[in-house]
Structure formats: structure tokens, C-alpha cells
Homo-oligomer: A and B are copies of this chain.
């Protein structure tokens, strides 16, 4: 009688919290001119093999379907995006600014707080390799977090660039075949003992540790920060060349957002992947691209940790789902009239509930309160007048039943507490 391990039930309060996150994501993305798309939750396993890097492939939630196909619940959306764009790009003016909110999956050993599914906002900008595109995308990431009410004290986006590292590899005469492996070592270096990293890096240990200690400079990243400062967003970022990202397909700028206190895992991460679309289309279509993903789980934790953000989301939840009116039927002989009125109020867009079974009046009022109704509409002794009671103020008014729709309409803003 439980969900499978690592899967969540969303009871109404949880679902409202989740939907308010989704609504904030959509609102900010649309301000940036991004349009929503979606792909299948299930894809051929080969779409992810070799494209995504060892970490994701080892955790794939994959299986053989009844038709003998090797398939996987999507671990991430970027390979699907590359597939869809490669197949349809002729129909679209570039650059594409696309976002999506897929549920993604992984199969790994259960640990505390590690789920097997989460929802993930994906934002991608495709068909433009200018640095301005990276700026626009990092700005979107910052404004998404600002959209939740977070300020520069709450989070930071750390900016890095893989070409900085591959330029260093080139200068040190490291053969191309070793680059992916070395990037993985650098990616893990923060979480591994220094000796282990040093052993894996060999001759490269000295120059790499120098950079990780703050000795590297990237002109591209400095330009990126300069362009963000035109938008007054530089205070939300920091150059940090230790960011490499685990996914294999990144080719340029990479970045991750963290809470300033450093208590949580990364809130979001992404980067440039200029070669993936060509790879997945056998070079029939080649388009530069940059994107990021932000999951609902870490973000949700940060929202709960920051009171201003939590209150802002709670307000959105209330706007989303609060009930306007509860119809209380004290005289059963008025039920027919009440139902006729209920229908007309709902047709006019009001959110109205009532007790469909015969119920004691006191219990009907209790239900109205517990549902958070703004007001009750009583069919009682006052008929042909109705008693309208605003629950917040306890104020009561008598309104002739045939005039109630017009009366409410005229006071819509007031009643909804606008």
C-alpha cells in the first residue's frame, strides 16, 4: 500500500506546492520568450549510451519492453531535445528558445533523500553560438531563482568553461582520447582525496591544482560576467573553474547554481553542447546549443529554508486553488433553487462548493471554513433572500436570491481579497 521506493505521491498540498513551482518556471521562461515543448517519457536506451557520460548511464532506469526493444525512462531531456530538433529544425527560425518540465528517472541504490524520479525544468537556446546566448541563458537561470523571491544572499551561479581545460590539455600535449576521462577526474576532485586526484592526473596534477587553487583566468568568462553586469546581474555569479559538470557532451561554458550556505546539492546546472545535435543526426544537422536543468527537489528544499520564498510560493498556491463560495443549504426544500444558482455562479467562473448529501448546517459551515472558502451563501429562513457571509470578517449581508450573481460580480475583487 505504498508507492515504489524512490517514487512520490503528491497529496493535494504537495501537488499545489509542485504546481506553484511549475507556474513560476513557466512565467519567467515566457518573459524570456521561451516556448514550451515536451518529449516522450520513454526513449530507446541507445539515445543515452555514450552521449551522457558514465554517471547517468550507470543509473539508467532501463528495461526490455514486450517487443524486445531496449528502452529507458528518460534520465534527462537533452538527448531527446537534440533528437527532436535534428528531426524538425527546418520548420523553425533560429535561434530556438525552448523550455520543458519533464519528469526524469534514475535507478540507483536507495539512500536517504535520493529519489528515483524528479521533475526538472529544462531551458535550451539552440542555433546560436555567440557569447550573448550564454549570457541570455545564465540571466534566465538567475531570474528563475529571483522569481521565487531569492536574493543574492541566497544563491550563486558558478561559471566555468570546458575550453579553458581543453586548451590546457592541448598546451600540455594530452592526447584527445584522454580528455573526457580527465574532465571527469577534475569534476570529482572536490569530493575526492587530493592524493587520489593527483594520482589520476599524473603529470597534469601540478597545473590542474594551480587552477583549482584560483590560478586560472578565462577572458571569455570575464566577458560573460561583464555582459551580465549590463543587466545588473553580476552580483549573482562567480567565476569558478573547478566546475566541469558530469555529462560528457558539454563543449564550452558550463555553470551550476548553489545555495550560498552550501548546505544543499546543486540547484541547477548546464552548459554549452555544440556537437550533440550533429552526433545524434549523423551530422545531417549541426546546431550549436546551450541549456540547463533545474530539479524540483533541491529547489523545494531551498524554498522551505528561505521564509520570503516560502511565503511567495504560498501566496501563489492560494491564488491557484482557493475556493470562492460555499453554498449552505439549511432548508432541503430549497436544494433545487440552490443547485440552479450554483450552476449559474460556476458558469460565471466562480469557484463554488456545497454538500451533495443532506448535511447538518453546522457541519456545512465547518466544511466551508476547512476548505478556505472566502464566503458562504446560506439558503435558510431568510428566503427569498440569501445570507452572504464573508468568512474572514464575519460580515453578513442579505441579498435577494435573484440578484446574487450581479451582487457578487460587482464585489469580485473585494471578495477574492485582491
**Which residues of A are interface residues toward B (Cβ below 8 A)?**
1-5, 7-12, 14-16, 18-19, 30-33, 35-44, 61, 63-67, 69, 71, 73, 80, 83-84, 86-88, 91, 93, 95, 97-98, 100, 103, 107, 117, 125, 128, 130, 132-133, 135-136, 139, 143, 227, 230-233, 280-281, 321, 323, 335-336, 339-340, 342-343, 346-347, 349-353, 356-358, 367, 370-371
Residue numbers in B under 8 Å from A80 (CB-CB): 9
Are A4 and B231 within 8 A (Cβ)? no
Choice from B1, B31, B65, B343 contacting A281 with Cβ under 8 Å: B1
Are A350 and B31 within 8 A (Cβ)? yes
Nearest CB of chain B from residue A331's CB, rounded to whole Å: 15
Are A371 and B230 within 8 A (Cβ)? no
Complex-state Cα separation, A12 to B92, whole angstroms: 10
Choice from B117, B143, B232 contacting A40 with Cβ under 8 Å: B117
Are A2 and B63 within 8 A (Cβ)? no
Complex-state Cα separation, A40 to B353, whole angstroms: 28
Are B37 and A10 within 8 A (Cβ)? yes
Are A343 and B232 within 8 A (Cβ)? yes
Question: Quick one: given A32-B346, A71-B4, A343-B233, are A9 and B39 in contact (CB under 8 Å)?
Answer: yes
What 6 A-B pairs have minimum CB-CB distances, sorted nearest first?
A33-B353, A132-B356, A7-B40, A130-B357, A10-B38, A231-B343
Complex-state Cα separation, A7 to B351, whole angstroms: 36
Are B93 and A367 within 8 A (Cβ)? yes
Residue numbers in B under 8 Å from A65 (CB-CB): 61, 63, 107
Residue numbers in B under 8 Å from A125 (CB-CB): 356
Residue numbers in B under 8 Å from A356 (CB-CB): 95, 125, 128, 130, 132-133, 135-136
Complex-state Cα separation, A61 to B65, whole angstroms: 8
Complex-state Cα separation, A374 to B4, whole angstroms: 48
